Amino acid sequence: MTPLPPVSWVRRAATPLALCFGLTAALTACGGEDPDAGTNGVGKLSAVEIETKARAAADAAVSVRLSGTLVSKGGTYKLNMRLKHDGATGSVTSKDNTFELLRVGKALYLKADAGFWSHVDGKGEGEPSKTDAAAADKLDDKYVKVPEGDPSYDQFRGFTDMDVLVEGLLGMQGELSKGDRTQVGGVRTIKVKAGDGAGGVLDVALVGKPYPIQFTRAGGAGVLTLGDWDVDFKLVEPSKGETVDYGRQLPKSSDS
């Protein structure tokens, strides 16, 4: 019969084991999980380095899906756009209207319902005339090509410009610091906070390339989700049967 070890020895052996199991979540020395295991390693970098790598990954990408809410001086918009450098397709929802945009190169098309076209000022105020209402019915759910010389061209095109949107909307304001590791849409991310979060919070992917995955803009100016990085898609101009000529200055998309 094997003699049992002294009680004092058992206590001495059990103490470090208990500490090890009790602190597994916080310590890696006892065999706990490394928070950077299986990641791209950016979680080990400084906040500035993570943000720099995220911007570099975004700049090198050929396409992205951008969705979420954008608050600007012109109003509040909900975006759902697929973007690449030579064009885009998707929808924009303002306070009163939802319209679709399609850009192939410089050719820009807008599709909206009759309610959008009924109000030339784009504000949805007052009742449209019978002439405007009749014209709007013909434009309902048709693509209208936006002339490059139209005052609204640059505004609508801005929603379809990958470089402008990604670079302009991901602005951080203030000193950068690292935040928590979390998940956005099932993707493991690490947060980079500007001004302790008041100047924007960027979630950067910890798996694969360090793409920006979500951005909470400073001052409550919206939350944007970015996905389908480098997933290509086709852009095809609408057929003649899908398009119609508006024949005058297009409505504005501003809520103001």
Residue 222, in any domain of the structure: yes
Q: Which amino acid is at 33?
A: E
Q: Do 121 and 198 share a domain, yes or no?
A: no
Contact 217, 170 (CB under 8 A): no
Residue 160, in any domain of the structure: yes
Residue 89, in any domain of the structure: yes
Q: Do 118 and 197 share a domain, yes or no?
A: no
Looking at residue 26, its pLDDT comes to 45
Contact 55, 49 (CB under 8 A): no
Q: Which three-class secondary structure string do you get for the chain?
A: CCCCCCHHHHHHHHHHHHHHHHCCCCCCCCCCCCCCCCCCCHHHCCHHHHHHHHHHHHHHCCEEEEEEEEEECCEEEEEEEEEECCEEEEEEECCCCEEEEEEECCEEEEEECHHHHCCCCCCCCCCCCHHHHHHHHHHCCEEEECCCCCCCHHHHHHCCCHHHHHHHHCCCCCCEEEEEEEEECCEEEEEEEEHHHCCCEEEEECCCCCCEEEEECHHHCCEEEEECCCCCCCCCCCCHHHECCCCCCCCCCCCC
Nearest partner of 101 among 232, 244, 238, judged by Cα: 238
Q: CB within 8 A of 189, min separation 6: which ones?
A: 181, 182, 183, 203, 204, 205, 206, 213, 214
pLDDT digits (tens, 9 = 90+) for 141-152: 889 999 988 888
Q: Do 189 and 216 share a domain, yes or no?
A: yes
Residue 212, in any domain of the structure: yes
Q: Do 105 and 188 share a domain, yes or no?
A: no
Contact 42, 206 (CB under 8 A): yes
Q: Which amino acid is at 9?
A: W
Residue 4, in any domain of the structure: no
Looking at residue 11, its pLDDT comes to 46
pLDDT digits (tens, 9 = 90+) for 43-82: 999 999 999 999 999 999 999 999 999 998 878 999 999 9
Contact 251, 121 (CB under 8 A): yes
Q: Do 52 and 121 share a domain, yes or no?
A: no
Q: What is the span of the domain harbouring residue 140?
A: 67-166+234-242
Contact 165, 159 (CB under 8 A): yes
Q: Do 218 and 94 share a domain, yes or no?
A: no
Nearest partner of 61 among 198, 249, 228, judged by Cα: 228
Q: Do 123 and 51 share a domain, yes or no?
A: no
**Residue ranges of the chain with pLDDT lower than 70?**
1-32, 119-136, 246-256
Residue 107, in any domain of the structure: yes
Looking at residue 248, its pLDDT comes to 58
- Tally of domains in the chain: 2
Residue 87, in any domain of the structure: yes
Q: Do 52 and 78 share a domain, yes or no?
A: no
